[in-house]
């Protein structure tokens, strides 16, 4: 590492920290030094907020204090300990609705294991059919893509809306075309609305791959075309305000650890009450039914949110959701949004400006090259001076050894990856890939230079120093470095 390179990164980091805009978010630096001081232990740098948020000391203390000061048991029982647990669960439901400004007469909160579990609840119970399609954007997490298997099992049409342009966005005209396909006009849409057999449109408010923020206005657009809307807010909600009094999707999927780090194993499906009545679950479990008969071969499901909460809820952790929401609210989602936006825009500006001595760029960014209409997720590959890509597994190995926690791969978002890497539909034919048994064999068949990207993501406790240190690492490790490196890399396991 040359002194000149290191100094340039350090000086750039000081400049962003010295700006008035950054100074307005100083509350986060105060929290980093107190509640999140464990992030700076052993010189590590956490840059994987899209993978998981980080917990504050206050959250862990609150959880411990509650457990040692009270006794809580299965809410399905009827005694004072179960009533105490049930009361905390219901309080958490109200807190969720308050946080998202959702009208309790319009929305319910269904606690799930995670956002994936929320998606599954909708997929398995939705009334897909030949006249009730599923429309998705290419840019979707696999937990949303998986809904297509339920649709296809019901012989429903499945239509994907492609990504377009270097910023990997979705054109609204393509959304409209996909929603309108197979429908003749307003009369048909009204008839579908009356019959209750609507199509489902599913998309993310923010891409977990590129950070692109897709318009929330598509919720109303799809509903005007007669569709229910599933909004994946798992990547969006941690650093952006989602106001359900303004935007009213039929279903919203969330994982709480993405918002504030703890608890894990708890997510939620926020559902409009009228949309929930159209779901028909394919099975039942303990806690989801009023009554059931073995000899009579019948069951009567619960009609409220408990009809979708299988078995015993995680009653010892769900109260932590209420504390976490209060914690995030006390800091301010808008403050977090401002801080993350500043760091993201700055890092993009710095990374895209880096050039090898021969003038070629050091990085290839996937998605928007600026901070406009995007979140705090930056996906890219490093390039050698000859333009070839640095293997993302090598970056994972070297960045981890240097103390950085980031993500590499395709991030469970194959549609965004296919668009980013320019993979054509023809090359993905099953016959072509029939004999490829491993991820590396698939990549060789597709003639791809690498198996994924590098993803850096900012969140609630991120600071200018985090961004500065990563930029210095990028410069010192990959700028003017010839490759490929003679390092034996582990085979890729999954994408």
- C-alpha span between 238 and 459 (Å, rounded): 7
- C-alpha span between 400 and 406 (Å, rounded): 8
pLDDT of residue 194: 59
Give the pLDDT mean for 81-107: 98
Kindly report, residue by residue over 302-337, the tens digit of the pLDDT: 888 889 999 999 999 999 999 999 999 999 999 999
Does residue 184 carry a pLDDT above 60? no
Using DSSP, how many helices (H) and how many strands (E) does the chain show? 20, 15
This prediction has a pTM of: 0.93
- Report which of 184, 65, 56, 170 is spatially closest to residue 131, judged by C-alpha positions: 184
Exposed (0-12), middle (13-18) or buried (19+): which is 337, by Cβ within 10 Å? middle
171 C-beta neighbours (distance < 10 Å), count: 13
Mean of the per-residue pLDDT values for the chain?
91
- Catalytic site includes residue 412: yes
Q: Are 452 and 409 in contact (CB under 8 A)?
A: yes
Both tokens of 384, joined, read: 């050698």
Both tokens of 361, joined, read: 């760029």
**Phi/psi at 87 (nearest 5 deg)?**
-65, -40
- Report which of 256, 273, 259 is spatially closest to residue 314, judged by C-alpha positions: 256
Give the containing element (helix H, strand E) for 351.
Answer: helix 333-353
pLDDT of residue 193: 56
Helix (H, G, I), strand (E, B) or coil at 48: strand
C-alpha 215 chain-centroid distance = 15
- C-alpha span between 58 and 320 (Å, rounded): 11
Both tokens of 18, joined, read: 């010295």
Residue 204's alpha-carbon distances to 36, 71, 216, 236, 456, in angstroms, are 29, 39, 9, 8, 19
Q: Which of 119, 253, 410, 412 is catalytic?
A: 412
Q: Are 312 and 287 in contact (CB under 8 A)?
A: yes
Q: Are 136 and 202 in contact (CB under 8 A)?
A: yes
Classify the C-alpha dihedral 484-489-492-495 as positive or negative.
negative
pLDDT of residue 431: 53
Q: Are 239 and 74 in contact (CB under 8 A)?
A: no
Give the angle 122-125-131 at the CA atoms, nearest 5°: 100
pLDDT of residue 485: 72
Residues in the chain: 495
Give the angle 276-281-286 at the CA atoms, nearest 5°: 105
295 C-beta neighbours (distance < 10 Å), count: 5
Q: Are 43 and 470 in contact (CB under 8 A)?
A: no
**Residue 28 pLDDT level (bands cut at 50, 70, 90):** very high
Q: Are 139 and 163 in contact (CB under 8 A)?
A: yes
Kindly report, residue by residue over 385-423, the tens digit of the pLDDT: 999 999 999 999 999 999 999 999 889 999 999 998 888
pLDDT of residue 12: 52
pLDDT of residue 3: 39
Helix (H, G, I), strand (E, B) or coil at 45: strand
- C-alpha span between 151 and 201 (Å, rounded): 12
Exposed (0-12), middle (13-18) or buried (19+): which is 401, by Cβ within 10 Å? exposed
- Span between the terminal Cα atoms of the chain, in Å: 33
């Amino acid at each position: 590492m040359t002194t000149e390179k290191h100094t340039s990164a350090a000086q750039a980091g000081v400049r962003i920290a010295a700006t008035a805009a950054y100074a307005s978010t100083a509350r986060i630096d105060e929290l980093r030094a107190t509640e999140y001081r464990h992030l700076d232990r052993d010189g590590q740098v956490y840059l994987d907020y899209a993978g998981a948020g980080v917990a504050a000391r206050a959250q862990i203390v609150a959880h411990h204090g509650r457990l040692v000061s009270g006794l809580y048991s299965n809410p399905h029982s009827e005694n004072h300990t179960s009533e105490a647990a049930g009361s905390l669960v219901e309080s958490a439901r109200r807190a969720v609705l308050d946080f998202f400004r959702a009208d309790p007469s319009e929305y319910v909160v269904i606690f799930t294991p995670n956002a994936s579990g929320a998606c599954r609840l909708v997929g398995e119970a939705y009334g897909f059919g030949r006249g009730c399609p599923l429309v998705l954007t290419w840019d979707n997490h696999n937990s949303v893509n998986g809904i297509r298997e339920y649709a296809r099992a019901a012989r429903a049409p499945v239509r994907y809306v492609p990504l377009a342009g270097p910023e990997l966005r979705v054109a609204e005209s393509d959304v409209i075309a996909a929603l309108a396909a197979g429908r003749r006009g307003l009369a048909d849409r009204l008839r579908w609305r009356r019959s209750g057999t609507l199509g489902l449109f599913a998309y993310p408010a923010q891409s977990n791959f590129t950070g692109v923020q897709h318009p929330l206005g598509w919720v109303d657009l799809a509903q005007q075309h007669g569709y229910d809307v599933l909004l994946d807010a798992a990547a969006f909600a941690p650093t952006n305000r989602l106001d359900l009094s303004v935007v009213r999707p039929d279903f919203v999927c969330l994982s709480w650890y993405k918002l504030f780090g703890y608890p894990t194993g708890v997510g939620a499906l926020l559902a409009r009450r009228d949309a929930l009545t159209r779901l028909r679950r394919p099975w039942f479990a303990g806690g989801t039914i009023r009554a059931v008969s073995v000899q009579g071969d019948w069951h009567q499901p619960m009609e409220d949110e408990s009809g979708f909460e299988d078995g015993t809820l995680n009653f010892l952790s769900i109260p932590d959701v209420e504390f976490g929401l209060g914690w995030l609210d006390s800091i301010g989602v808008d403050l977090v949004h401002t801080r993350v936006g500043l760091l993201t825009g700055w890092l993009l500006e710095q990374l895209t400006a880096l050039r090898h001595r021969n003038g070629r760029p050091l990085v290839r960014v996937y998605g928007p090259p600026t901070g406009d209409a995007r979140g705090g997720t930056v996906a890219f590959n490093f390039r050698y001076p000859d333009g070839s890509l640095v293997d993302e597994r090598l970056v994972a190995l070297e960045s981890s050894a240097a103390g950085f926690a980031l993500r590499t791969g395709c991030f469970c978002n194959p549609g965004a990856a296919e668009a980013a890497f320019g993979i054509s539909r023809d090359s993905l034919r099953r016959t072509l890939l029939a004999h490829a048994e491993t991820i590396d064999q698939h990549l060789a068949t597709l003639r791809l230079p690498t198996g994924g990207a590098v993803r850096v993501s900012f969140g609630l406790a991120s600071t200018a120093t985090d961004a500065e240190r990563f930029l210095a690492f990028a410069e010192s490790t990959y700028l003017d470095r010839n490759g490929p490196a003679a390092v034996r890399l582990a085979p890729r396991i999954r994408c």
